[in-house]
Chain A
Amino acid sequence: MASGSVADQEGQVMLLGFWFSPFVKRVEWALKFKGIEYDYVEEDLTNKSTLLLTSNPIHKTVPVLIHNGNPIAESLVIIEYIDETWKQNPILPQDPYDRAMARFWANFIEEKVTKPSREALISQGEQQEKKVKELKEAMEVVEGEAKAKLNDKTLFFGGGNGVGYVDIVLGWTCNWMKTIEEVGGFKVLDPENQPQFHKWMANFREVPFIKPTLPPKEKMVEYSRMVRQARLGLVANK
């Protein structure tokens, strides 16, 4: 067998995950995009497995990718690892400057969209209003980027018809954002003022390897509601 062949690289790939987690979903998208076979282990986050606790002792969270027995945590770190280990279907661009731009936008999404969204889901009143305001401002920037980069021929931030790093990092919004809005009781999505972003979401949802992975709405709403109640309940009892 030739050294460095796909079969050598495969080794054993295991993903510890949770159905609802958008961070886990991103890693699955990266794996599926590259056609990597993996074993998926669904974790019960209220009763974490020994494997999870020993593989990610620092954060004790999913996702954790275990490749040939070596564990990696943090979704963005995992995705870069996947991209560097399996060279087919590149996720990040090749050029260092383009890579820097992709990483910049991934960071922006995490700091300004992903984190505040979660905080808006589990807060209320003034605290929530603050987060929603942050989100609206961030979405203006996202729409600006979408307007600048996307058109009828370039559907995705990855360029052309192919998804790339930024799409995979932002992708959770296409399904989870509506749920968070509904359960949290606020509005950030605005089809009139975010037309290019909404086009992107619609296209992303339809990507053949993405579509079947999106959890059903009712299940997502039910779970989000439970998370919100639990967090607000804790706060009220302080």
Chain B
Amino acid sequence: MAEEEVKLFGTWASPFSRRIEVALKLKGVQYEYIEENLTNKSPALLNYNPVHKQIPVLVHNGKPVAESFVIMEYVDETWKHNPILPTDPYEKAMARFWAKYIDEKLWPAAKKVVVTKGEEQKGVINEIQQQMKNLEGELKEKTFFGGESIGFVDIAANIIIWLVVAQEALGMDQILDEEKLPILHGWLQRLLDDAVFKECVPPKERHLDFSKVKFGSSIASK
């Protein structure tokens, strides 16, 4: 059997590269991790992702794949055990729909809420609450979006952790409140308890410090 060489270019604080770590670990794929310095990108990274010059990039036997969802689908199709996408085409379509929703609606709102103030911020908070309610509608009584085990949407929804940490760093009231969003709140606790997933989040203290530095200059006045 040909020797398999898998490399992941990422950064410790990026939810997007952490997603790939989850996917690879769930499938037990051995890989070499390369921590990039985004202020001084390596020639290798620039060579492997000349279009976007961004992480994450997965390099499999010398061939690069970029964009987190594209990489996740590639990983799922290449290493077929412990699937992260459902096999049924309709269920698969639903997973892709919700992953897209998370990246195109929830993530931009999450980035906005920590850099806005007053009325504008209140508006974004309402948006996020609605988005989270929508996610609850999809999750319902399931343990994870993927069912009994973590799947594509759970991995995509890791950005919620980044929002929670950023809000904590800024001393904001948590939008993901146990009373208002019990289903999603419960899901997050299960996600953070999962043996594989918990290895793929930034260490809390370091993440808090990072968020304080990143968003601290625009601390929202309450």
Q: Which residues of A contact B (CB under 8 A)?
A: 58, 67, 70, 72-74, 76-78, 80-81, 84-85, 96-97, 99-100, 103-104, 107-108, 141
Tell me the B93-148 residues at the A interface (CB within 8 Å).
Answer: 93-94, 96-97, 100-101, 134
On whether A104 and B65 interact (CB within 8 A), knowing A58-B134, A81-B89, A99-B73, the answer reads yes
On whether the beta carbons of A104 and B66 are closer than 8 Å, the reply is yes
Q: In the bound complex, how far is the Cα of B77 from the Cα of A60, in angstroms? A: 32
Nearest neighbor of B89 in chain A, beta-carbon distance:
A84
When distances are taken between beta carbons in the complex, the residues of chain A under 8 Å from B92 are 80-81, 84
Q: In the bound complex, how far is the Cα of B91 from the Cα of A81, in angstroms? A: 10
When distances are taken between beta carbons in the complex, the residues of chain B under 8 Å from A103 are 67, 69-70, 73
Q: In the bound complex, how far is the Cα of B89 from the Cα of A103, in angstroms? A: 17
When distances are taken between beta carbons in the complex, the residues of chain B under 8 Å from A99 are 73-74, 77
On whether the beta carbons of B93 and A80 are closer than 8 Å, the reply is yes
Q: Which 3 A-B pairs have the closest CB atoms?
A: A96-B77, A100-B74, A84-B89
- Give min CB distance, B91 to chain A, whole Å: 10
**Does B63 belong to the interface (CB within 8 Å)?**
yes
When distances are taken between beta carbons in the complex, the residues of chain A under 8 Å from B67 are 103-104, 107
- Give min CB distance, A100 to chain B, whole Å: 4
On whether the beta carbons of A108 and B51 are closer than 8 Å, the reply is yes
When distances are taken between beta carbons in the complex, the residues of chain A under 8 Å from B89 are 81, 84-85
**Does B78 belong to the interface (CB within 8 Å)?**
yes
Chain B window 32-75, contacts with chain A (Cβ cutoff 8 Å), 1 for yes, 0 for no: 00000000000000000001000000001001011101110110
On whether the beta carbons of A97 and B93 are closer than 8 Å, the reply is no
**Which applies to chain B's interface (DSSP): helix, strand, loop or mixed?**
helix
Q: Which residues of B contact A (CB under 8 A)?
A: 51, 60, 63, 65-67, 69-71, 73-74, 77-78, 89-90, 92-94, 96-97, 100-101, 134
Q: A77-B96, A97-B60, A100-B70 are in contact. List 9 more A-B contacts (CB 8 A).
A: A72-B94, A76-B96, A80-B93, A81-B89, A97-B65, A97-B74, A99-B77, A100-B73, A103-B69
Max chain B Cβ within 10 angstroms of own Cβ: one of A74, A76, A77: A77
- Give min CB distance, A24 to chain B, whole Å: 17
Q: In the bound complex, how far is the Cα of B73 from the Cα of A67, in angstroms? A: 24
Nearest neighbor of B49 in chain A, beta-carbon distance:
A104
Q: In the bound complex, how far is the Cα of B93 from the Cα of A133, in angstroms? A: 34
When distances are taken between beta carbons in the complex, the residues of chain A under 8 Å from B101 are 58
On whether the beta carbons of A74 and B77 are closer than 8 Å, the reply is no
Q: In the bound complex, how far is the Cα of B93 from the Cα of A67, in angstroms? A: 12
The one of A73, A74, A85, A100 in contact with B71, judged by C-beta atoms closer than 8 angstroms, is A100
- Give min CB distance, B8 to chain A, whole Å: 14
When distances are taken between beta carbons in the complex, the residues of chain A under 8 Å from B63 are 97
The one of B65, B70, B90, B97 in contact with A74, judged by C-beta atoms closer than 8 angstroms, is B97
- Give min CB distance, B90 to chain A, whole Å: 5
Q: In the bound complex, how far is the Cα of B70 from the Cα of A179, in angstroms? A: 31
Q: In the bound complex, how far is the Cα of B89 from the Cα of A85, in angstroms? A: 6
The one of B70, B78, B90, B134 in contact with A81, judged by C-beta atoms closer than 8 angstroms, is B90
Q: In the bound complex, how far is the Cα of B89 from the Cα of A73, in angstroms? A: 14
- Give min CB distance, A32 to chain B, whole Å: 19
When distances are taken between beta carbons in the complex, the residues of chain B under 8 Å from A73 are 97
- Give min CB distance, A41 to chain B, whole Å: 19
Q: In the bound complex, how far is the Cα of B158 from the Cα of A156, in angstroms? A: 37
Q: Can you list 13 A-B contacts (CB < 8 A)? A: A70-B90, A72-B90, A72-B93, A77-B96, A77-B100, A81-B89, A84-B89, A97-B60, A103-B67, A103-B69, A104-B66, A107-B67, A141-B51
On whether the beta carbons of A74 and B100 are closer than 8 Å, the reply is yes
Max chain A Cβ within 10 angstroms of own Cβ: one of B60, B71, B74, B78: B74
- Give min CB distance, A86 to chain B, whole Å: 10
Q: In the bound complex, how far is the Cα of B94 from the Cα of A108, in angstroms? A: 22
When distances are taken between beta carbons in the complex, the residues of chain B under 8 Å from A85 are 89
Nearest neighbor of B58 in chain A, beta-carbon distance:
A100
Nearest neighbor of A78 in chain B, beta-carbon distance:
B93
When distances are taken between beta carbons in the complex, the residues of chain B under 8 Å from A72 are 90, 93-94, 97
- Give min CB distance, B103 to chain A, whole Å: 10
- Give min CB distance, B52 to chain A, whole Å: 8
When distances are taken between beta carbons in the complex, the residues of chain B under 8 Å from A67 are 90
Q: In the bound complex, how far is the Cα of B60 from the Cα of A58, in angstroms? A: 37
Q: In the bound complex, how far is the Cα of B69 from the Cα of A170, in angstroms? A: 19
